[in-house]
Amino acid sequence: MRAFEHLLLAPILLPLLCGAALAPLTQGWHRLKFGLGYASVLGQLAAALALVRMTDGGYWQDGIGVYLAANWAAPFGIALVADRLAALMLLLTALLGLAALHFAMRRWGRIGVHFHTLFQFLLMGINGAFLTHDLFNLFVFFEVMLAASYGLVLHGYNAERLRASLQYIAVNLAASLLFLLGAAVIYAAAGTLNMADLAARIQAMPAADLGLLRIGATALALAFLIKGAMWPLCFWLPTTYAAASPPVAAMLVLMTKVGTYAILRLALLWFPSGWGYDALLWGGMATIVFGAAGMLATDSAGRMAGYGAIVSSGTLLAVIGYGQPSLVAAGLFYLVGSTLAIAAFLLLAELVDRIRTPREAVLAVTMEAWAVEDKPDEPMGQGVPAAMATLALAFGACTLVIAGLPPLSGFVAKFSLFHALLERDPVPGAAWVLMALVLVSGLVSVMALMRFGVRTFWATRAAPPALHLSEVLPVVFLLGLTAVMSVQASPILAYLGRASEGIHRPGDYVERVLRHAPVPGPAQEEAP
């Protein structure tokens, strides 16, 4: 085995070790804790970039890297698999993690005890869920991710957060039980939990035996769709997003995408013939309608971002359900752009809230309890308050991406979605409905966000809020990434096209994972 193959483990091991190292440090060491956590996220970013290069640069055959944990051959041990899609998601996780952690530097990371530890474990769970190729191991990584997120949603402990996380935890515990039920039924039907092995066995299975397996797959899909927020399984989401502290909420946006990722990966791997896709298509469209209506109905920034995430999830699920490789590529572009924008919007929401409601007073009590010294900052400018201008510009950029207006990445994403939808001749009715819904949801989000923006930035005569550079930078960073995405749209879309083609050839996975030979150990060589 070549030395670089071990890099596949880095996105899981780095946060695990870092989180474990941070756990015993008391809050008095918060600078050290932040520094270590930041270094770990930077390391994950480097590993993700390297994996993108390795999967796309021909280091691995077919762009699929297989790592056999503990050197057990594939159907028996747990295989970790990196392909272009997984590498892309790892990169997105690292970028979002970097922004959220930077945002938490000044304020949120210092309120409460184990923020940094939990944050690292959350990253570990998300990264692991992207890399693992074993169904039960996926459950374990989901639980790691969820357990960390329970702690993080509670972070900054007040009545609103407790109430929201009570419901969040109950819903997700029930979803985990569904996951277990699904995995158990699939094991009973097929006798294996390795995803590639399952794919091979499902292809070879007589039609009479498929019924039980499909029941299992449905239970599993329900568990993923609760995380991925498909209507009618998404009612937990807006409340949780609005209640969670902003850096945590930004990471929650990514967690809904983990559910979508699992659906995308497993649906294409196990049921390439198209079973169950219609449910995703129409369910996704219903989700778009629900999310758009919610955006119009709400007034708070956090809830609006939550409904925006629901619209984005719905679009993605409909795209997966439509079942066309080029459309999935465009959908992935949309996924990356919308995740970045909604995360930026959630970070921004807290800064904007400082204009709208004097929540500082509430926060101040908590800050005092944790002895965070908070000197009042100078506003960033005089005359035309630069703080207001920065916030308004960032807000405008978020609106452009979420609504899909040029010149930022949202427009490129929607344009390529439409381009792919119009490919089939004749264009099916579902494609027209989907296009109409995407357009209408864009229009609705412009209306909702503009209404919010006008009320916040024009109609108030409040003093400009105190902004800190460390809080504005992550927002600008995330929005800058969407700008880069629209400038570099062609190479990124080409990469995503290759990623989408890769996941549409499940045969390659089965071949690569099951044929991957374990490393011969020294004992075996010496044996007679």
Partner 1 sequence: METVIALAIGIVFGAGIWLVLRPRTFQVLCGLMLMSYAVNLFIFAMGRLWVDRPPLTPAGKPVDPAALADPLPQALVLTAIVIGFATTALYLVVMIGARGLTGTDHVDGREPER
Binding site for partner 1 (CB under 8 A): 136, 139-140, 143, 146-147, 150-151, 154, 157-159, 162-163, 165-167, 169-170, 173-174, 176-177, 180-181, 183-185, 187-188, 193
* CB within 8 Å of 361: residues ≥ 6 apart: none
- Rounded CA separation 422/128 (Å): 36
Which residue, 165 or 326, is less far from partner 1 as judged by CB? Answer: 165
Q: How far is the CB of 191 from partner 1 (least distance, A)?
A: 9
CB of 140 to partner 1, least distance (A): 7
Q: What is the secondary structure of 290-353 as a DSSP string?
A: HHHHHHHH--SHHHHHHHHHHHHHHHHHHHHHH--HHHHHHHHHHHHHHHHHHHHHHHHHHHHH
C-alpha 401/C-alpha 412 separation (Å) is 9
Q: What angle do CA 502, 51, 115 make, to 5 degrees?
A: 115
CB of 155 to partner 1, least distance (A): 12
For partner 1, the closer of residues 262 and 434 by Cβ is 262
Nearer to partner 1, 184 or 389 (CB): 184
Cβ-count burial 519-528 (b if 16+ within 10 Å, e if not)? eeeeeeeeee
Using the minimum distance from each CB to partner 1, give the nearer residue, 102 or 201. 201
What amino acid is encoded at 97 in this protein? G
Nearer to partner 1, 174 or 296 (CB): 174
DSSP H or E stretch at residue 79? strand 79-82
Residue closer to partner 1 (CB basis): 51 or 189: 189
Shortest gap between Cβ of 299 and partner 1 (angstroms)? 20
The least distance separating partner 1 from the CB of residue 164, rounded to whole angstroms, comes to 9
Q: Which is nearer to partner 1, 140 or 210 (CB)?
A: 140
Closest to 418 in 3D by CA, of 320, 288, 319: 319
* Exposed e or buried b per residue across 297-332, where buried means at least 16 C-beta atoms within 10 angstroms of its C-beta: ebebbbbbbbbbbbbbbbbbbbbbbbbbbbbbbbbb
**Cβ 146 to partner 1 shortest distance, Å:** 7
Which residues 6+ apart lie within 8 Å of 356 measured at CB?
456, 460, 462
Q: In this complex, which beta carbon is closest to partner 1, that of residue 166 or of residue 469?
A: 166
Are 289 and 218 spatial neighbours (Cβ–Cβ below 8 Å)? no
CB of 99 to partner 1, least distance (A): 27
- The nearer residue to partner 1, 43 or 218, going by C-beta atoms, is 218
* Least CB distance to partner 1 at residue 171 (A): 10
d(CA 422, CA 342): 27
Q: Is 229 helix (H, G, I), strand (E, B) or coil?
A: coil
The least CB distance from residue 174 to partner 1, in Å, is 7
Provide the b/e sequence for 379-410 (b: ≥16 CB within 10 Å).
Answer: ebeeeebebbebbeebbbbbbbbbbbbeebbb
